[in-house]
């Protein structure tokens, strides 16, 4: 079955903030169940040097099947990364931080492999009342964040010029619930959101309204 990719409001916001260039060397921390970021960086932005890591061998195998020309590496972001200092221009770490044992240590390691003034774009779940129906927060007991505590963590990990934005809403949660039902009940991957979800997900990242996801842009000190 051919993989389908969708460019929703959150992905558009991330790419806009990242502002990828063809010559950038980009690290993606957390390949996930589908290499969507890798796909868009390659196909839409013509970025040539993309390295993607994940702690799941299944995710790495699946990513290599979907994008045979991708550079996918099995690596644990809880440990020292298998890269030299100052290796990357930019780093993406989307919805991965809550899974890491020691946020400051992992972010410091990401800081190490970034070049001077290299940029990181990070997204995390924001603490809010809608998380009472968020299956990841409820069943996996993953962390939520507010701007203040995330700002402190990033500063301790030697990042500067920390800029926050936020978005996402009920349709993002409905899509996540659908994804979890397909994954854990039907043992298959729900690749493309229903159209009504996708429209709502796009709207939630328009303007400057409060949302359920914090997105951060910052630089290496």
Are residues 57 and 33 in contact, defined by beta-carbon separation less than 8 angstroms? no
Q: What are phi and psi of 33, to 5 degrees?
A: -75, -15
pLDDT at 203: 82
CA 142 to chain centroid, in Å, comes to 15
Q: 0.75 exceeded by the pTM?
A: yes
pLDDT at 9: 84
Return the SS3 of 98: helix
How far apart (Å, rounded) are the C-alpha atoms in residues 35 and 154?
A: 26
| Beta-bridge mates of residue 54 | 74
pLDDT at 196: 74
Are β-strands 114-125 and 88-94 bridged in parallel, bridged antiparallel, or unpaired?
Answer: parallel
Give residue limits of the domains in the chain: 9-127+143-168+209-220
Return the SS3 of 145: strand
What does DSSP assign to residue 146?
Answer: -
pLDDT at 181: 82
DSSP H stretches of helix in 23-129: 36-43, 57-66, 103-113
pLDDT at 172: 84
Side by side, which strands form the sheet with 213-220? 71-74, 49-54, 25-29, 88-94, 114-125, 213-220, 159-167
Query: Regarding the domain delimited by 9-127+143-168+209-220, which CATH topology (the fold level of the hierarchy) does it fall under?
Result: Rossmann fold (3.40.50)
- How does pLDDT run along the chain (221 residues), one tens digit per residue? 455 677 788 888 999 999 999 999 999 999 988 899 999 999 899 999 999 999 999 999 999 999 999 999 999 999 999 999 999 999 999 999 999 999 999 999 999 999 999 999 999 999 887 778 787 777 776 789 999 999 999 999 999 999 999 998 888 888 888 878 877 787 676 666 677 777 877 787 876 667 889 999 999 99
pLDDT at 1: 43
Return the SS3 of 200: helix
């Amino acid at each position: 079955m051919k993989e389908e990719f969708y460019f929703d409001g959150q992905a558009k916001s991330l790419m806009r903030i990242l502002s990828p260039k063809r010559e950038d060397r980009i690290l993606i921390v957390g390949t996930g169940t589908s290499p969507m970021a890798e796909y868009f960086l390659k196909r839409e932005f013509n970025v040539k040097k993309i390295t993607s890591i994940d702690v799941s061998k299944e995710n790495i195998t699946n990513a290599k099947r979907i994008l045979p020309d991708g550079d996918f590496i099995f690596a644990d972001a809880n440990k020292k990364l298998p890269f030299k200092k100052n290796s990357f221009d930019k780093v993406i770490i989307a919805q991965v931080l809550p899974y890491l044992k020691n946020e400051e240590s992992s972010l410091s390691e990401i800081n190490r492999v970034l070049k001077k003034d290299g940029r990181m774009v990070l997204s995390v779940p924001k603490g809010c009342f809608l998380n009472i129906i968020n299956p990841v927060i409820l069943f996996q007991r993953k962390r939520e964040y507010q701007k203040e505590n995330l700002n402190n963590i990033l500063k301790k990990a030697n990042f500067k010029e920390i800029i926050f934005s936020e978005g996402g809403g009920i349709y993002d949660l409905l899509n996540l619930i659908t994804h979890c039902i397909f994954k854990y009940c039907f043992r298959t991957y729900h690749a493309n959101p229903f159209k009504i979800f996708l429209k709502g997900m796009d709207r939630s990242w328009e303007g400057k309204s409060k949302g359920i996801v914090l997105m951060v842009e910052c630089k290496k000190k």
